[in-house]
Amino acid sequence: MNNAVMIFFIFILVSCSTIEQPKSKKQEPKIDRSTPDKLIQTSWSLQIWRDTTTIDTFYSEPYNSKRLNDYFNKVRKNSFNKRLKAYELSPNLIDKVEVQSDSRAVVVVQEYDYNMEESQKVSIILSKENGEWFIDDKIYDCNFCDKTGKVKRYFGLEQCSYCNGLGKRSYYYRFFK
């Protein structure tokens, strides 16, 4: 009996995987890790593709109310249209590619986020492993202390708690430290 149930579940899984899934407008871009600038450009194109081809519906599923679902879908659709318009108007630009050694490179870019009014300079640190380039870190100017490392308080200047007085913040620092 158990074998029959297992065979039935295996049959279901195999048949589900053979059903052709609906494809989006375009195929997902592949990441090219051959050079630092190609890695940055293809990662941008992948991010833009993800932001402009799908609308996240994860958070509206728990709501039973049709009115709430309609409201959240409207908000998501407006956000989607805002991203699409922003990416069409403001492309990301690579300013400088500096290969420091065989296994390390720094790429200075003007990166545009759809939540920002203007682009900002970002230093992207790359490392090479097994002949492929990988992004190690992104370093942004600190927007809490105006890139000085000091914040004006009631009793004078204090060290910025977001960038620890450096004037720059690490993108991955927030997640791993």
**Which of 1.20.120, 3.30.70, 1.20.5, 3.10.450 is the CATH number of 29-53+61-141?**
3.10.450
Token pair of 99 as six digits:
């290969």
pLDDT band for 18, please (50, 70, 90 cuts): very low
The residue ranking higher by pLDDT, 51 or 8, is 51
Average pLDDT over residues 138-143: 80
Could you give the 3-state DSSP secondary structure of residue 14?
A: helix
Under 8 Å between Cβ of 133 and 35? yes
Q: Own/partner pairs for 110-113, CB < 8 Å, 24+ apart?
A: 112/86, 112/87
Cα(47)–Cα(114) distance, rounded to whole angstroms?
12
31-79 pLDDT, tens digit each: 899 999 899 888 888 877 777 776 655 555 555 667 777 777 777 777 7
φ, ψ of residue 52 in degrees (nearest 5): -110, 5
Least confident stretch, 18-22, 24-28, 137-141, 163-167? 18-22
Rounded Cα distance, 115 and 108, in Å: 20
The percentage of the chain sitting over the pLDDT mark of 90, rounded to a whole number, equals 9
Stated length of the chain:
177
Q: Which residue has the higher pLDDT, 109 or 49?
A: 109
Is the predicted pLDDT of residue 100 greater than 60, yes or no? yes
Mean of pLDDT values over 138-150: 79
Give the residue with greater pLDDT, 133 vs 114: 133
Is 19's pLDDT higher than 60?
Answer: no
Return residue ranges of the chain for CATH 3.10.450.
29-53+61-141
Q: Cα dist. 40→90, 113, 136 in Å?
A: 16, 15, 12
AA letter at 83: R
- Check residue 58 and give its pLDDT: 56
105 pLDDT tier (thresholds 50, 70, 90):
very high
Mean pLDDT for the chain? Answer: 72
